[in-house]
Structure formats: structure tokens, C-alpha cells
Amino acid sequence: MTPADWLQLLNLVGKCFGNRLHHFIPAQTIPNRPLRWTVIFLQILLPLGKKSLGLRLLHTLEQMGPVYIKIGQLLSTRPDILGMEVCLALAKLQDKVDPVANLDIRTEVEKSIGRADAFLSIDPKPIASASIAQVHQAKLQNGTSVVIKIVRPNIEVKINRDMTLLIHLAKYLDSRFTMVQRIHLPRIMQDHLDTLLLELNMFSEARNQIQLRRNFAESSLLYVPRLYAQFTRNNMLVMEQISAPSIGNVAALQAAKVDMRVLAHKGVETFFTQVFEHNFFHADMHPGNVLIDVSDPSDPMYVALDCAIVGSLTDEDKFYLAQNILAFFHRDYRKVVDLHIRSGWVPITTDPIAFEAVIKAVCEPIFAKPLSEISFGPFMGELLQTASEFEMEIQPQLVLLQKTLLYIEGLGRQLYPELDLWETAEPFMQRWAQRNLGPMAVITELAERGPKLLSELHRLPQLLKDDGQMTLRLELAKQNYEIKELHEQLGELQRKRRRGVFVLTVIVACAVLFGANWVNRAGSGSDLGSLLPLVFSAN
């Protein structure tokens, strides 16, 4: 990290302490005694004051800029982690961030599309404002109500500045801590920067919105607003206006007598459909981006806004993920272990019996329970401890999916705490398995790949030979892993030896100096060299 990075980091830390965010730290739970007393001292030295922690966190994230506002949007959906009071304060970050001051929206629109007569009217006051863009109501020349989404000016500079710091910090931590290396933090931060920069590109968002609308064209699960592509520019897009309550406005949904059970079940099915059927999922589903069509309260429909961030999985990752979910539904924890080892998500040297026992201990308490009975914080703590114990690595390509799951699970808690995720998701996954893993899937696969298989038939003996050597390759991989561990242990022994020599040298030097002083004080003519054997024999 450069000196400029350190200065920027100190500035962020200063803002956190200035806004008293250290009061979020539960000092009594810190096992390290000096650190625990340091936190207690800081909390006494810098008291909380009258302003609530939620408002303090809100103002801090707003001051820090768009990168940190995105974090606040995710946290705003997790009252089980931060508490309802804090989440209510952070809800402002979903669509009520302070808009750009003195922005002449009509001038910006005319400058972007190169004409002044495209819109009959544009409301200068935004109806929504978030970290990247703000939204204004408008009317087309034919009177159609639309909304204009326009990117905040100069936002790219702020995002690059803040993300450069986080990437440098991630690399610094990655070079020093094994746990961080397993998380692949530098790649995650780089991927996050790439995702944020895509959010600035309205052409990219427009493509995503058109694709998502096409995927759910005949569905009663999700509605995606129509896009007016002729007005799309790099920094703005125009879509139909939808009048519906936000999913975060639970009071409005209850007043409309929405069937919350149906809504929650549809949410789970919508998520699994996007991931496993379409392999194209909305990855920014905080309440500011999700409305509910309440025209039929008994059969409500989701409305997806802001399609800037979408995700997809490779066929291999989707296969392993689906297999893991199905094995979990069947409580087949041994299969979960085998899948993790085969996919490379844990080292090949993992003890399968020990790993299975830990997974069972973590998962059994939450199996077949509604969200209201699952304590997310302790569960995540146990998962992190398991990941550390078995050197499980975070898969960066799955981070967007994991983030989306956090949103979905958080929203489910608020809408319908009695939701049983397993009961809702299992029928969908069973149907998926029949189509993709059953006999018909094999026949379809053979039909699609038949010509290629015939062209490769002459390689069959070599392929069988290669398959027979799989055990050998696994053994070699295990030996390489053990050799690497031996090298690390040898290096650690050498470092300890060097430290021991250094400490011994210091002890000897101190002993010699002490001996010299003793001789001088005694006033005798004793030979100093005669003391050295005593010093060495004592060590």
C-alpha cells in the first residue's frame, strides 16, 4: 500500500471513530484481554452521545460514498444481525440518498440524447435516489408516464478511488494472513469494482433488463418494466413507470391484504428459477429495487427494477451447487463432503469423516425450521469456523449468488418469518433434478453430443486409461500437498531457530555486560572469559 492509501485509510478510520461506530463492537465478547480493554477505554473516551447508532452508521456510510452505501443497502435487510432500529435507519440508503445538489435534470437529459423535444415534461425533484443514480418522473410527448434514470455526474472517479484503496488493502492482507488467502479477497474486490463500473453503464443495464423481461414474459412470478431503448444512453435510460409499494413497505402490503405466504413462496421460486432455469439472476435485490404488484392480493407479483447487476454460473458450478442442495434436502451429508472435495472447494486431503461430522453438526439444527427459528449470526459464525478448520476456500464466482441469497433470506424474514425455505425449495429442485439428472437428461445429452462422441470414439482406450489413472493422480496431488506442508513446517522451524539464535545472542550479551559490571563492582581481577562457560551452560 502506498502512503496515499494509508492516509485515505486513516481518514476512513477517523470517520468511523468520529461517528462513534466503535460502539458497535461488543467488547465483552473479545477474548484477547488487552484488545478488550482497549475497546472499553475507547468507548468511555468517545461516548455514544444522544444520536442513535443507526443514524451514526447511516451518516458515516453516506459520507464515505457509493462503495460503502452499497454495503449499507445489504445490511439494511438484516435486522437479525444489526437489529431493527439500525436497519430502519439504513433503509434510507435503498432509494433516499441525498440527490445531487443543483442538478438541472432537463439540461442533463437534453445533453445526453441531443434533443429538447423528447419529453413533454420532466419532474425536477427525484422520486428515488441511490448510490449510483437518481430517478425522475417524466412524460413522453404522447402522454405516456415514464421514469428517467440518470447516473450521478463524476461518480466513476469516486468509485475508482475508493475501490483502489480496498483492492490495495485486500492485497496487503492477502500477503500476510492465510485466512484471507482462502477468501481470495483481492479477486473479490476486483470483481466488485468491475460490477460497480458496469452499474454506471446504462447500455449494459438496458441489455440485462430486456433479457430478464424476456425470461419472465409469460410468468406470474416476476414483472420487468418495459424499456424505451430509443432513449437509452451511456448515462441514462427510460422505462415505464410502475405504481406499486416497495417490498420493504410491509405496512402497505398488509393494508392491501397481500397474502404474505404466497408472496414469500413466490420469492423463493423466483430465485431458484433465475439461478437454475435461466442461469441469469438479478443480484441487487434490496427493497429499493423490488416492488409488489398488489392488484390481486391473493396472487401478488414481484416487480424488478435496476437490472444493472446480474449474475450467472458456469455449468459446472451450477451442477455442483444443485447437487449440494439436493444432498442437503436428503440429509446426505457424506455426498455434500464428496461434492466439496470433487469440486475443489476443500483440499483433496480433507478427512471426509471429520468433515461430514462437522457439516452435520452445523446443518442439522436449522433443517426443516422456519426462518423465525434460525439464528443467522451464530449459524454464520459456525460456517466460518468450519471453513477455517477445513481450509475451505471462498469461490469468488459465487459471491454474487451468496450476496443475493443474503438479500432473499433477509426479505423473507421481514415478509413471512414462518417461511420454511426447505419445504418451498425442495419440490422445485426435485423437478430440476428429474429434468437435468434423470434418464431423460442422459438421453437428451447423448442426442446433443452424439456426433461429437462418435468423432472421439477412437480415443476411447486412452480415455479409459486416463480414468484408471485417476486414483494415481489423486495420490500424487495428496503427496504434493503433504510436501508443501513439510516445506512450510521446515520454514517455520528455520524461522524459530533464527529467532532462538537471536534471543540467545541477546541473553549472552546481557549476561556478559552483567558479568562485566559485577567484576567492576567487586573490584577483583577475575578473568571475564571465565564467566562465559557459566553463561553458556546456564542456557
Report which of 326, 515, 346 is spatially closest to residue 432, judged by C-alpha positions. Answer: 326
- Contact residues for 274 (Cβ-Cβ < 8 A; gap 6+): 215, 280, 281, 282
Strands (E), 52-178: 119-122, 128-129, 133-140, 145-151
Distance CA(142)–CA(119), nearest Å, equals 9
CA dihedral sign of residues 488, 490, 493, 499: negative
Would you call 299 a catalytic residue per the annotation? Answer: no
**SS3 of 172, please?**
helix
- Contact residues for 51 (Cβ-Cβ < 8 A; gap 6+): none
Report which of 273, 258, 220, 265 is spatially closest to residue 423, judged by C-alpha positions. Answer: 265
* H helical segments located in 282-375: 315-329, 333-343, 352-363
Report which of 528, 523, 497 is spatially closest to residue 511, judged by C-alpha positions. Answer: 528
Q: How many CB atoms lie within 10 A of CB 364?
A: 11
Q: How many CB atoms lie within 10 A of CB 181?
A: 15
Grid coordinates representing 332 are 446426505
Q: Which residues pair with 221 in a beta bridge?
A: none
Q: Catalytic pick from 80, 284, 293, 306? A: 284
Q: At 358, which amino acid appears?
A: V
Residues annotated as part of the active site: 284
